[in-house]
């Protein structure tokens, strides 16, 4: 898949550098996933059971959707820390509306719109205060978490309802085998990959993250792009929350864990914290890697209390990997310019 690289575009008119073959960014994470599955499957054959693999895919689907949205946020050099609680609030609102007898599809739409509204609130605060999204969403993270805690206390039983038409659809299985959430997860990864690399919006996202000043000179509305990206993150969070319907959403730490998983998966999948590049398919693969690791922890008899530690370790590993890749890209860029002007 072609990556946006303004440096190469600008240099292309001045000289014709030697063409080099570049492997797809998703290939590395995919190879890592295959190795992990093979190792754990060899040590614990039960891991390769169809039921276990399908369960793993479904578990990866919900935070995986957030990781796909996070790709766009990271690509503009931002981080949204509130995604876990936008997801959480959308799930709660949908469950409460269903418990109140609201039409299931209107309840689902309300959940998605709530996510969009919360994303818009984040975006407006970011552009109005001229602050990085990580600072703003650190505050909204606490606000959304507080709202979720209050909402759960209002009606703790409605949040875990597991019946009704909408529940049967979002937790149904295609062809009697593949969970609906997995289908939505895979479809979203493919569609958002195309959006990021083949649409004007995706081009602008990568341009803003690659070189904001150059994007201004090119006439790209940076404020609008940042705002729309955070709204998109909210919409995806809302959709994932609606799909989560029926699972317990009363865990006070759920939103915190999901945001770390989403960021880690996006980085492991090949999206850079430095901005300007990303891959939705890579983020999906990255989330599968995270889930395989967590599943392996359980299969090897390690207490589930270690899961937060494991997620944190994966996050640190992802940051270290991103740093190493950035240093490697800088060396390649320096070598390119030396050959170009040498």
Categorize the per-residue pLDDT at 223 as very low, low, confident or very high, splitting at 50, 70 and 90. Answer: very high
Q: How many helices (H) and strands (E) does the chain have?
A: 14, 2
Two tokens, residue 94: 């949908």
Which whole number is the average pLDDT over 88-100? 87
Q: Which residue has the tokens 């936008």?
A: 86
For residue 338, what are the CA distances in angstroms to 92, 334, 342? 56, 6, 5
Q: Write the pLDDT tens digit of every residue in 206-216.
A: 999 999 889 98
Structure confidence at residue 9 (pLDDT): 46
Categorize the per-residue pLDDT at 78 as very low, low, confident or very high, splitting at 50, 70 and 90. Answer: very high
Structure confidence at residue 60 (pLDDT): 93
CA angle 24, 26, 27 (to 5 degrees): 70
pLDDT of 103 strictly over 90: no
Domain residue limits, the chain? 49-327
Structure confidence at residue 313 (pLDDT): 84
Which whole number is the average pLDDT over 16-38? 74
CA angle 123, 231, 155 (to 5 degrees): 100
Structure confidence at residue 300 (pLDDT): 82
pLDDT of 11 strictly over 50: no
For the residues of 140-154, what is the DSSP string, one character each? HHHHHHHHHHHHHHH
Cβ distance 77 to 278 under 8 Å? Answer: no
- What are the φ and ψ backbone dihedral angles of 179, each rounded to 5 degrees? -60, 145
For residue 214, what are the CA distances in angstroms to 128, 162, 200, 246? 22, 51, 16, 47
Does the domain at residues 49-327 carry the CATH identifier 1.10.3470? Answer: yes
Three-class secondary structure of residue 271 per DSSP: coil
Q: Write the pLDDT tens digit of every residue in 120-148.
A: 999 999 999 999 999 999 999 999 988 88
Two tokens, residue 6: 């303004």
Q: Name 173's bridge partners.
A: 179
pLDDT of 190 strictly over 90: yes
Cβ distance 120 to 234 under 8 Å? Answer: yes
Structure confidence at residue 116 (pLDDT): 97
Cβ distance 248 to 51 under 8 Å? Answer: no
Two tokens, residue 287: 């989330």
């Amino acid at each position: 898949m072609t990556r946006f690289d303004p440096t190469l575009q600008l240099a292309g008119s001045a000289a014709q550098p030697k063409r080099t073959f570049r492997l797809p960014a998703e290939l590395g994470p995919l190879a890592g996933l295959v190795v992990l599955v093979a190792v754990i499957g060899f040590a614990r054959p039960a891991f390769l059971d169809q039921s276990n693999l399908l369960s793993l895919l479904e578990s990866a689907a919900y935070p995986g959707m957030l990781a796909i949205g996070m790709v766009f946020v990271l690509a503009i050099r931002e981080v949204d820390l509130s995604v876990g609680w936008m997801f959480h609030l959308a799930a709660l609102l949908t469950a409460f509306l269903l418990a109140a007898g609201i039409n299931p599809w209107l309840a689902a739409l309300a959940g998605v719109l709530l996510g969009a509204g919360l994303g818009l609130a984040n975006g407006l605060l970011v552009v109005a205060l001229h602050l990085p999204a990580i600072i703003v969403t650190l505050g909204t993270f606490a606000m959304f978490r507080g709202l979720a805690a209050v909402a759960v206390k209002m009606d703790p039983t409605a949040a875990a309802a597991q019946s009704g038409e909408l529940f049967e659809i979002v937790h149904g299985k295609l062809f009697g085998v593949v969970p609906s959430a997995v289908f939505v997860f895979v479809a979203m990864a493919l569609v958002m990959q195309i959006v990021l690399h083949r649409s004007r919006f995706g081009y602008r996202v990568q341009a803003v993250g690659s070189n904001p000043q150059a994007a201004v000179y090119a006439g790209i509305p940076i404020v609008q792009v940042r705002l729309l990206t955070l709204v998109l993150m909210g919409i995806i969070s809302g959709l994932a929350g609606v799909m989560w319907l029926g699972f317990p959403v009363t865990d006070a730490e759920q939103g915190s864990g999901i945001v770390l998983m989403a960021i880690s998966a996006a980085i492991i999948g090949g999206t850079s914290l430095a901005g300007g590049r990303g891959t939705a398919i890579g983020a999906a693969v990255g989330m599968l890697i995270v889930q395989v690791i967590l599943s392996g922890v359980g299969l090897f008899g390690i207490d589930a209390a270690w899961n937060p530690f494991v997620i944190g370790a994966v996050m640190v590993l992802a940051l270290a990997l991103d740093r190493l890749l950035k240093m490697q890209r800088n060396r390649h860029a320096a070598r390119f310019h030396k050959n170009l002007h040498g």
